[in-house]
Amino acid sequence: MDGDSGRHAPLAMDAATFRKLGHRLVDQLAGFLESLPFGPVTRDESPSVVREALDLTGPLPEMGTDPGPLLEETAQRLFAHSLFNGHPRFFGYITAPPAPIGILGDFLAAAVNPNVGAWTLSPAATEMESQTVRWIAELIGYPVNCGGLLVSGGNMANFVCFLAARTAKAGWDVRKYGVSEDSGRRLRVYCSGETHTWIQKATDLGGLGTASIRWIATDSKLRMDVSALRRQIEADTAAGDVPFLVVGTAGSVSTGAVDRLPEISALCKEYGLWFHVDGAYGGFAAAVPQAHDDLRGLPLADSVAVDPHKWLYAPLEAGCALVRDPEMLRAAFAYHPPYYHFEERVTNYVDYGPQNSRGFRALKVWLALKHVGAVGYRNMIAEDIRLSQAMAQAVSRHAELQLMTQELSITTFRYVPRNLREKLRESEVELHLDALNRELVDRLQRGGETFISNAVVGGHYVLRACIVNFHTTQTDVEAVPDIVARIGREVDAELRATNLQPR
């Protein structure tokens, strides 16, 4: 690959060596993926153990290393000391296993290495990204002539939409003069208390400040109270503020709650506000007709954030921002400096988002959509939802577990020792259950049998299992209650021994 120029750059590699190392790595990866379900989800290792095991304490090497053993050993060490979100019993946060075709797609994308900031630099990749955006829109029922682009994840997808809304609705040239121009009049954002923390980062980075957020109360199903939303918008308008954006959530991070999107959309139309939907987690469930009635409102939004590295099972990173009117993205992001000479009649993604140089994220998503089609995705997402419901049933059958919520593919529950079952709501008992379940999550996360995260529901600290995992089976979900109860009993016994349990 070095050609015959006479130059022998240290990083260059001849084709035969590249082929040999690549084949060896792919063999290792195939073995790793095959054996993954039979090992632990993670190992309970401290940061110093990990640093030692991967030899990460030394100084920058002055001289290089033979790439064959380097790659082989690095792969082995990663296999031995990582947490595997591709494990069938990984139910933490909202992280999917990587689709194998996506793994290969990232490999291919890195080799071609197009800069998808400008069409000239990435003719094929830009067109493939445009098709990926259209296909994603089509999958969730959003208008296919929308604008959009691939970004690093849900946070970035929401930020992009947020900035498009800010530019479109501020009422002055907010890009030029910033948010303080219209002095005294505060831009206002509305969302429920269940909204993911991206909204704080967005208002902070967007110059509005977190105090611009109006946290609207939720109902018993943790959905935004639309009457309270209306009252707050009216009060703020009367006070001289500038309401500009309402954020609805299609699948909240804690419990999978879906806001009343059709009603919120109607309200936004009435008041002339931008309606954004954070569908980072649940947006793709709109592809499954029976998943949730309120997802019907998703196509009504001015913008939607979805996250292919969640329910499209793309390897990290891949988020996607969709904006109904493509011009709104250009209006929010385009500049035309003299040192860029890009053809205006083609898509230059540099004009549609905050990034300048951009990688070929779309390829892994495009390949996976081609590989299994819409039908394949509908089946996998529907099966994840069914398995979550099966987990909820298994939890509710268990005498030591209390089911809290089940929505989309998230189940929340907690461990309650038998002798405390009749004493729920006594404040001393609730405090004890919070401490018990907090410790239980910690042990589950370190134990390696399964990985579950936490949520706070109705003021209670609970366990939370989210299934966006096409490797998970009925056996895996049915194993969870017994694992949790066994470790719950151990924690309870220890707390009792230290006299921390209420009598």
Ligand X SMILES: Cc1ncc(COP(=O)(O)O)c(C=O)c1O
- Name the minimum Å distance from CB 64 to ligand X: 35
What is the nearest approach in angstroms of ligand X to the Cβ of residue 93? 6
Answer for which of 105, 154, 417, 481 binds ligand X (CB under 6 A) is 154
For residue 92, how many C-alpha atoms fall within 13 Å in the half-sphere facing its CB? Answer: 19
The Cα–Cα gap between 155 and 161 comes to: 10
Q: Which is nearer to ligand X, 253 or 312 (CB)?
A: 253
Site stretch for ligand X (CB under 6 A), options 141-149, 249-257, 359-367, 418-426: 249-257
What's the min distance (Å) between Cβ of 17 and ligand X? 36
Query: Which is nearest to 245 in space by CA: 272, 274, 203?
Result: 274
Distances (CA, A) of 453 to 280, 415, 423: 18, 14, 25
Give whichever of 148 and 153 is closer to ligand X, judged by the CB atom.
153
Site mask for ligand X (CB under 6 A), range 255-284, x = bound: -----------------------x-xx---
Least Å distance, CB 412 to ligand X, is 14
In sequence order, what are the residues at sequence separation of 6 or more whose Cβ sits closer than 8 angstroms to the Cβ of residue 175? Answer: 167, 332
Residue 253 interacts with ligand X (CB under 6 A)? yes
- CA torsion sign, 64 to 67 to 68 to 74? positive
- Phi, psi angle pair for 123, to nearest 5°: -55, -50
User: Residues touching ligand X: how many (CB under 6 A)?
Assistant: 15
Stretch that binds ligand X, among 169-177, 246-254, 391-399, 469-477 (CB under 6 A): 246-254
Q: Which of residues 92-111 bind ligand X (CB under 6 A)?
A: 94
Confirm or reject binding of residue 153 to ligand X (CB under 6 A). yes
Exactly one of 159, 190, 198, 415 binds ligand X (CB under 6 A); that residue is 198
* Beta carbon of residue 319, minimum distance to ligand X (angstroms, whole number): 5
Q: Select the residue interacting with ligand X from 307, 384, 439, 492 (CB under 6 A).
A: 307
407 counts as binding ligand X under rule CB under 6 A: no
Find the part of the chain contacting ligand X (CB under 6 A) among 10-18, 121-129, 153-161, 183-191.
Answer: 153-161
Instruction: Pick between residue 362 and residue 433 the one whose CB is nearest to ligand X.
Output: 362
**CB-nearer residue toward ligand X: 99 or 485:** 99
Angle at 262 between CA 259 and CA 263, to 5 degrees: 80
CA–CA gap between residue 126 and residue 367 (Å, rounded)? 14
140 vs 485, beta carbon nearer ligand X? 140
Q: Angle at Cα 19 formed by Cα 15 and Cα 23, nearest 5°?
A: 170
- Taking the complex as a whole, the smallest distance from the CB of residue 407 to ligand X amounts, in Å, to 12
In 308-459, beta strands by DSSP E:
319-323, 401-407, 410-415, 453-457
Longest CA–CA span in the chain (Å) reads: 82
CB of 197 to ligand X, least distance (A): 8
Residue 2's identity, in one-letter code, is D
Q: Where are the beta strands (DSSP E) in 296-423?
A: 303-306, 319-323, 401-407, 410-415
Q: What is the 3-state secondary structure (H, E, C) of 433-448?
A: HHHHHHHHHHHHHHHC
**CB of 147 or CB of 283, closer to ligand X:** 283
**Identity of the residue, 94 or 365, whose beta carbon is nearer to ligand X in the bound complex:** 94
Shortest spacing between CB 345 and ligand X, in angstroms: 33
Per DSSP, the residues of 87-141 read: STTB-STT-PPPPHHHHHHHHHHHHH---TTSGGG-HHHHHHHHHHHHHHHHHHT
- Would you tell me how many other CB atoms lie within 10 Å of the CB of residue 471? 16
Among 85, 130, 155, 232, binds ligand X (CB under 6 A): 155
Q: Which residues bind ligand X (CB under 6 A)?
A: 94, 153-155, 158, 196, 198, 249, 252-253, 278, 280-281, 307, 319
